[in-house]
Chain A
């Protein structure tokens, strides 16, 4: 029944011919009985094992019983002296991976082979035994393994060393005892033995930095032969460099000479490994980068795709942090756009998008368009992201870039890809006003044929916010109403809301919107009908409300400026009665819970697709709050609101924090007060501010808080006049004054008579940083250069002894209150020097850029060089004053 394995029928030349044609597990298992024959036919047995392995390789599985049977049968084959068969037996045992109690059957046979005179037996028996063994058995064979590591046959030594690397995961304490032998093996003349020994020794010592450092230092002096071992050594070297600190005097990294020498190695793999290690130095300098980039550039025109790929991938990564260093390669990179290999082409494109300049944008876009259609979605997303950042970098090019985005939006693509495009368009609309109308139009086109509900609703919501503010809002209505006719309930509901927004904001469209909304009243979906009804009534379609009630409009279409938690709490405590629920009674201030929560922009749901650097929403909420108070409406545009500053200790009777609102000629303190005593009701709450230490400020008005019930935050305000447009500073002492009324905890009724009382708060300071708005710039270098050195002020400061460089950097950033750019606020561990780029807008709308260079020496003395550029000489000086006084 068993057909001969190797069938040499020449007349059966059809293409589907396979020696395993019609193979069946049951039959092969039957055949395996030949393993039990007293007279073993080695050739036949080999064939049967091959068939079994073929089955396993094709994904066939053996049941527990079958596996056990095969295993026991195979163990019989150790009787045969045939080397070929023995090799197959080893393979089979590894493939079956017998259970612990079965292992014992083969242990003695394998141990015998481990001590065989045949090197091939020794090497393979070690590998099999180590694969299937457990800890207890390992101690028995440990002696042999140690011998094997220093065996003169490299195959045996490698087998033992590789097994050691595997065993280190499960039995580290045993393998660690082999250190001496492994160390001896590192000196081996055989290339791979050295490689394996180095890998194992490093693994054994990886937690001991000093030992790794010693190992690396001794080996870099030049006893490593094979390219593979050289690659390992490069990895370990860069690890040592990462862990050790840079020498501050010379700016040299230890061992960097070795890595640079590796760039001239004859093996490509070593060169690539070294070039990568160098490009990944933290805070790598251009002097260090240059030689690495040069060798990679040569590889870009290699005939080998693998080499081109390795080079372009590394350069792509470098371009993210050091775009200028890569620009030299741009010509070679451009020729790679047409590379047959799409992975290489994509990497080349995205690199060019990062390093390219304004003039090359159009040419690049043309080249990309040709190739977008034949790459995978995941690559397309990479390209889209790169294009978005390019557009933000060169806003003037928005037309061609937006065009490109809209073209690819029309093509086929998966959800993630479409989402990436939509997000990009939205961000561009937000950041580049000129791109708004075309962008919105593209979005409208998109939802006409969008299979993703999620994206449709997002776009509709965004249209509702942005569409009414355009020059001709009416042209969007058709697209939106089409959704009501054509889409599923979720999209329909979103479209209804969007229509209503147009209706509420654009008076001229209102009658037409009413017509459309009335049609929605007959929708089959509850949500859609409910929304239509709600909007029709609030917009006053029946003429009952002449002028739309401002509050209603705010509530429906404005941002919800009430923290959801507070709203929820208020709704819970609301009892059904004649009196309607009053939204304005919901406390607007976030409860003085953990400080971090307060900073979260929970006051208003963040707008569509806001990226991390988008305008922070609390400011908008503050602005709305302040403009609603008539006393402050004459102060003009709000320049900045600070983060809340606590004026009381945590857990005190009254919790008060303050937000400083800066206007050009005024400052308003918003005191957020919380009463934490259930038995008290506070009335006429005011803060008496003593500004005698703040000469330039004069109190103009204050707004007391009428009542402050238990656990329900309220605000009181005090406003000061200050010299217009100047960064006046000062110190204010605060006293909380109020009338206390006892509350009966049983009834919740407050007593008629109250007692006047006061409560000392901590002092409040207005510092220069309060006048600085954190505004990031997209490209610091460009901004810096376009600002010019006319009003540049440079000076050096000693910052004294600091815990670390990072701490000093953070401190200076906080003093200045500016926005760190390009991630330079992060100081790499153990860095000895650091450059930090800051940008901001100072009061009076003066742009300020700061370049800070820090250095730290042995006894933690930190020195700093401060270079300021701004549009105003006086401001540049003022920044220095801030630092000098800070």
Chain B
């Protein structure tokens, strides 16, 4: 605390406890705006991810995966999800992935139907890498659910969604970003994994190749 004259030394002792506690909690809750902190952008030795969230249109969990200890308790995780959801709810993230920054994290997100996809990284992370992962997750889910992407289908195929998450990030490190490869690795539910995997990969690779081409043309 910077000094505020003699007045304050007296006042501090006289401040009612409740307001002091309120002050303290405010100190902890309100993080300094990170956008302007002087940390170097490139501090992390490799891109690392805090979490991936798939929420429904009310902010409830469909599938989530946390990779960092930033939210040690279940309550903290839920609070973060709630804050992410409410802060992004009104934005239009249906055509292009959107981005937001709060509480010292960068969140990239994209919505489709009643599903909200989020990828969270530290505040010094390269946003484009975060969005590459988001796009990979988003497209892979589209492939897995055969473009029938909504909450109900996602829950009906939750096993595949969870496997998909598992194939994208391992312990915070990118494992794979190519949607067709991710989807190929997860949808091997037939008896012989390998044959169907390669078959699907080829057909799906073509599909995504077309999509990628379209995207790059639109850019």
Contact = CB atoms under 8 A, between A and B. Distances in A.
Contacts of A340: 91-92
A607 B5 contact: yes
Nearest to A269: B128
Interface stretch (A439-447, A488-496, A749-757): A488-496
Nearest to B56: A18
Given A58-B61, A195-B174, A488-B16, A305 B97 contact: yes
Contact of B171 (A59, A131, A317, A608): A131
Contacts of B85: none
A162 B108 contact: no
B174 A272 contact: no
Interface in B55-101: 61, 63-64, 74, 77-78, 87, 91-92, 96-101
B174 to A, nearest CB: 7
B159 A50 contact: yes
B35 interface: yes
Most buried by A among B10, B92, B192: B10
Most buried by A among B14, B64, B91: B14
A310 to B, nearest CB: 4
Nearest to B114: A15
A414 interface: yes
A378 B102 contact: yes
B155 to A, nearest CB: 5
A416 B42 contact: no
Given A162-B173, A493-B14, A316 B35 contact: yes
B156 A6 contact: yes
B209 interface: no
A294 interface: no
Interface in B1-29: 2-11, 14-16, 19, 22-23, 26
Contact of B100 (A94, A273, A343, A381): A343
Contacts of A341: 91, 98-100
Interface in A347-399: 347, 350, 376-379, 381-382
B199 interface: no
Interface string B96-138: 1111111000001000000000000000001111111000000
Nearest to A60: B74
A59 B173 contact: no
Contacts of A269: 126, 128-129, 132
A91 B185 CA distance: 14
Contacts of A313: 35, 127
B205 interface: no
Contacts of B158: 19-20, 50, 53-54
Interface string A453-465: 1100110111011
Interface in A523-560: 527, 559-560
A231 B36 contact: no
A306 B159 contact: no
Contacts of A277: 41-42
Contacts of B108: 306
A228 B31 CA distance: 30
A236 to B, nearest CB: 8
A855 to B, nearest CB: 26
Interface in B160-177: 162-163, 166, 170-171, 173-177
Nearest to A451: B19
A484 to B, nearest CB: 15
Interface of A: 6, 17-20, 46-47, 49-50, 53-54, 57-59, 61, 82-84, 87-88, 91, 94, 118-120, 127, 131, 155, 158-159, 162-163, 165-166, 192, 195-196, 199, 202-203, 206, 228, 231-232, 234-235, 238-239, 267-269, 272-273, 276-277, 280, 303-307, 309-310, 313-314, 316-317, 320, 340-344, 346-347, 350, 376-379, 381-382, 414-416, 452-454, 457-458, 460-462, 464-465, 488-490, 493-494, 497, 527, 559-560, 605-610
14 contacts: A46-B159, A84-B190, A120-B188, A162-B173, A165-B46, A228-B177, A341-B99, A342-B100, A343-B100, A347-B35, A381-B32, A490-B11, A559-B6, A609-B4
Q: Nearest 9 pairs between A and B by C-beta? A: A269-B128, A83-B193, A84-B189, A461-B7, A199-B46, A310-B127, A50-B159, A378-B33, A306-B131
